[in-house]
């Protein structure tokens, strides 16, 4: 084998092998249940607005968003003058729909403040036996599919302190805060393959007591929450896409300019 081929084999094969090993290691320690697919559309402002509302009502009591400011979030999810809201409207909407907390002195929180919760890490440790994570980056660290499957994955388990467990996050410390909307789920197993000596097959969840919402309505709530958390983890992705289009247009234009220049330079040389 010539040296250059050997070099290429090294350059191509070694990273592939590393990826394969990482996949196997990651796969064995990760979730055994396949994650549910979800496609979040960050251009769907109505979905982001609903997601923000659900987040502030159901999650923010425990989970802060330490890197976000109320007014930036409001702007990004479409509460802006371009969408027909005056500055006063926006301030009012933020105060009515997003801000439910007061600052340390008990005064109403200003719209430019970071989205911190009043929940102290100590109180959380006492209540849940674990810390309550800030969810600013969870959209990136776990990804939308994981968040979606996690919020749908709670089931009743009397052996756990909160009375629930989670199919993608075993032994979870978080209570099932959406249980009234979703209803009660129990864990079941599909029939196992006796020939392979399995007692039971893939785990699946069954709704045994309906909640306030129908399953499709509940899925939409969870999807909106997932979209909101995906946006929060990288606010710049909303504007990045627009920049991307301009950059591509510029490159196309520049290609023709460069082509014309090239012709011009070479026209007298034969
Ligand atoms: C009563 C407090 C409480 C509320 C309300 C709450 N959570 Fe949690 N959440 C927790 C705790 C505690 C954990 C840590 C669980 C653990 O480590 O076992 C957690 C963990 C999580 C995680 C996993 C983070 C990670 O990467 O490990 C996500 C995602 C999450 N919560 C989303 C939500 C969403 C979305 C809502 C609102 C629908 C919500 N939580 C409401 C207490 C809460």
Tens digit of each residue's pLDDT (9 = 90 or more) over 73-87: 998 998 887 777 777
Task: Please tell me whether residue 183 adopts helix, strand or coil conformation.
Answer: strand
Q: Say what the pLDDT of residue 235 is.
A: 87
49-58, 139-148, 172-181, 230-239 — which is least confidently predicted?
230-239
Instruction: Say if CB 127 and CB 115 are below 8 A apart.
Output: no
CA of 44 to the centre of ligand 1 (A): 25
- Mutation test of ligand 1: which of 57, 119, 133 has the most ligand atoms closer than 8 Å to its C-beta? 133
Question: Could you tell me what percentage of the chain is helix, strand and coil, using 3-state DSSP and rounding each to the nearest 5?
Answer: 50, 15, 35
CA of 196 to the centre of ligand 1 (A): 37
Phi/psi at 178 (nearest 5 deg)?
Answer: -100, 15
pLDDT digits (tens, 9 = 90+) for 133-192: 999 999 999 999 999 999 999 999 999 999 999 999 999 999 999 999 999 999 998 777
Q: Which tokens in the block code for residue 148?
A: 């979606």
Q: Which tokens in the block code for residue 213?
A: 């919402």
Q: Which atom of ligand 1 is nearest the CA belonging to 59?
A: 37
CA of 63 to the centre of ligand 1 (A): 7
CA of 133 to the centre of ligand 1 (A): 7
CA of 124 to the centre of ligand 1 (A): 11
**Residue bearing the CA closest to ligand 1, atom 5:** 59
Q: What residues does ligand 1 touch, defined as CB less than 6 Å away? A: 58-59, 61-63, 128, 130, 132-133, 135, 138, 141-142, 147, 150-151, 172-175, 177-178, 225
pLDDT digits (tens, 9 = 90+) for 245-266: 899 999 999 999 999 999 999 9
**Residue bearing the CA closest to ligand 1, atom 29:** 147
Note the pTM of the prediction, 2 decimals.
0.80
Instruction: Say if CB 117 and CB 61 are below 8 A apart.
Output: yes
145: left (phi over 0), alpha (psi -120 to 50) or beta: alpha
Q: Which residue has the tokens 């129908």?
A: 214
């Amino acid at each position: 084998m010539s040296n250059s081929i050997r070099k290429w084999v090294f350059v191509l094969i070694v990273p592939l092998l590393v990826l394969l090993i990482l996949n196997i290691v990651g796969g064995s320690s990760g979730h055994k249940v396949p994650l549910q697919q979800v496609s979040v559309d960050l251009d769907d402002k109505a979905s982001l607005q609903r997601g923000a509302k659900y987040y502030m009502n159901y999650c923010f009591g425990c989970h802060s968003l330490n890197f976000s400011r109320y007014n930036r979030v409001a702007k990004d999810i479409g509460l802006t003058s371009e969408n027909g809201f005056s500055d006063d409207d926006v301030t009012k909407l933020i105060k009515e729909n997003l801000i439910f907390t007061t600052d340390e002195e008990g005064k109403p929180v200003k719209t430019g403040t970071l989205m911190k919760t009043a929940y102290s890490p100590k109180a959380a440790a006492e209540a849940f036996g674990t810390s309550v994570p800030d969810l600013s980056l969870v959209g990136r660290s776990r990804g939308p599919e994981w968040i979606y499957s996690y919020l749908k994955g709670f089931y009743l388990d009397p052996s756990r302190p909160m009375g629930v467990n989670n199919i993608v996050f075993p032994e979870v410390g978080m209570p099932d805060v959406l249980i009234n909307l979703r209803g009660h789920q129990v864990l079941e197993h599909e029939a196992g393959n006796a020939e392979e000596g399995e007692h039971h097959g893939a785990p699946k969840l069954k709704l045994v007591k309906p909640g306030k919402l129908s399953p499709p309505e509940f899925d939409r709530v969870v999807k909106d929450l997932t979209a909101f958390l995906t946006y929060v983890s990288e606010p710049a992705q909303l504007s990045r896409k627009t920049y991307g289009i301009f950059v591509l247009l510029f490159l196309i234009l520049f290609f023709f300019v460069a082509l014309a220049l090239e012709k011009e330079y070479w026209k007298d040389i034969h």
